[in-house]
Amino acid sequence: MDENQYRILIVDDTQKNIQLIGTILKEEGYTINVAQNGVQALNLISKINPDLILLDVMMPEMDGFEACQKIKENPKYKDIPIIFLTARVDTEDIVKGFEMGAADYIAKPFQAEELLARISTHLELRNSKIQLQSTLKSIQRDLDIAQNIQHNILPKNLDSLKNLKLATQYLPMSEVGGDFYDISEIRPGIVRVFLADATGHGIQAALITMAIKSEYESLKLRVKEPSELLNHLNANFMKKFESLSTFFTCFLVDIHLNKNKVFFSMAAHPRQVLIKQTGEIKFLATKGPLIGLSKSNRYNLVEFDFSKGDTLILFSDGVYEEFNREKVEFGQNGLYEVLTQNKDKNVNQLVENILESLENFLEGKPKQDDITIIGIENSIGWNDFKNHFFEI
């Protein structure tokens, strides 16, 4: 911005000072306005919206300290730089001026070169701040859009899966996150659940989830076994994104309601949880490296019984990797404790209690990772399934 586009308010009760300062500024092309005390300055600011204020300290009716404080208390004007221009140069006065919100302090008598240099510096700083705020607003708008997109790609209408009771919670660390999940009935009586956690946080991780969704959707309905799907998913990621060193963990499970069975595969994901109807708690695990780590990755298939009343708790590593103020990790022990205390609760209460325990554990400290929790209860056994789908 050119000098002649800047407006400077001079606040001083001495006409000689006003004339001197005004002449210096006008010669440099600045537009000036004048007030002779703090009260006049406050009334004038709302009309002219100055870019900078030169403020004397010793004035009648309202001195410079009080005027500065009142200007800074108004959200509309708090970012206007104020330079005290005064003969009061005691350390106590200088400190008080900065405490009131002044940007700078110039002692009288002053040199014109110093005055102009200080003004130019603070106008440039203000202009940079305005540009930065504009950029941040633009980034925030983009983040809001990205957040909306990320929430909208998560599965909806889960009530249509009437043979399972489902509860989900998705809590990114910031506006967007690196977790992604999908729940779909891929064939009658077979529900496929996929949970992925991209490395990193924020925008980078969120962009990776878009790629994960795209690649997973291309395989979801046409690859039969979870282990084979992860083999294909890894191969596709290595082919397309190897140069970006893009990695993610995941857990893929097929729930066969017609067999009371579950088949799962995992890629470097935390051990997920099965709560049996009897109350027994099992942590599920099998070998499998990060997706995107190596072209030679291979994934195992594990099978277990999933009877009526059994519950699966799937989650991203953000549940484990939360540290409290004493730098203690919530971890598997923390999860096991809350599950033990709440294993008789329904799946919605169980998921809510996990989150509540995490919040209590953190004691107000912000989350350090994205958190996703999926609770799945088998509410229909094989005989119920037959009666529901077939005439017998």
Task: Report pLDDT digits (tens) over 80-95.
Answer: 999 998 887 788 888 8
Q: What are phi and psi of 66, to 5 degrees?
A: -65, -40
* Residue pair 376/164 in contact by the 8 Å Cβ criterion: yes
Separation of alpha carbons 392 and 385, rounded Å: 11
Using only C-alpha atoms, the chain has a radius of gyration, in whole angstroms, of 32
At residue 355, the pLDDT reads: 95
3-state class (DSSP) for residue 169: strand
At residue 392, the pLDDT reads: 37
Query: In the structure, what pLDDT confidence band is assigned to residue 140 with cuts at 50, 70 and 90?
Result: confident
Fill in the amino acid letter for 189.
G
| CATH fold for domain 153-389 | Phosphatase 2c; domain 1 (3.60.40)
Task: Report pLDDT digits (tens) over 36-50.
Answer: 999 999 999 999 999
Query: In the structure, what pLDDT confidence band is assigned to residue 386 with cuts at 50, 70 and 90?
Result: low
Query: In the structure, what pLDDT confidence band is assigned to residue 4 with cuts at 50, 70 and 90?
Result: low
Task: Report pLDDT digits (tens) over 259-296.
Answer: 999 999 999 999 999 999 999 999 998 889 999 999 99
Surface-to-core class of residue 238, CB atoms within 10 Å of its CB (0-12 exposed, 13-18 middle, 19+ buried) = middle
At residue 90, the pLDDT reads: 81
Cα atoms in the 13 Å half-sphere on the side-chain side of 133:
7
Task: Flag whether pLDDT at 200 surpasses 90.
Answer: no
At residue 137, the pLDDT reads: 85
Task: Flag whether pLDDT at 151 surpasses 80.
Answer: no
At residue 391, the pLDDT reads: 42
Separation of alpha carbons 149 and 358, rounded Å: 27
Task: Flag whether pLDDT at 76 surpasses 60.
Answer: yes
Region 118-145: what's the mean pLDDT?
87
Domain boundaries, the chain: 3-141, 153-389
Query: In the structure, what pLDDT confidence band is assigned to residue 385 with cuts at 50, 70 and 90?
Result: very low
pTM for the whole structure = 0.72
Superfamily the domain 3-141 falls into: Response regulator (3.40.50.2300)
Q: What is the DSSP letter of 343?
A: T
Task: Report pLDDT digits (tens) over 294-350.
Answer: 999 999 999 999 999 999 999 999 999 999 999 999 999 999 999 999 988 999 999
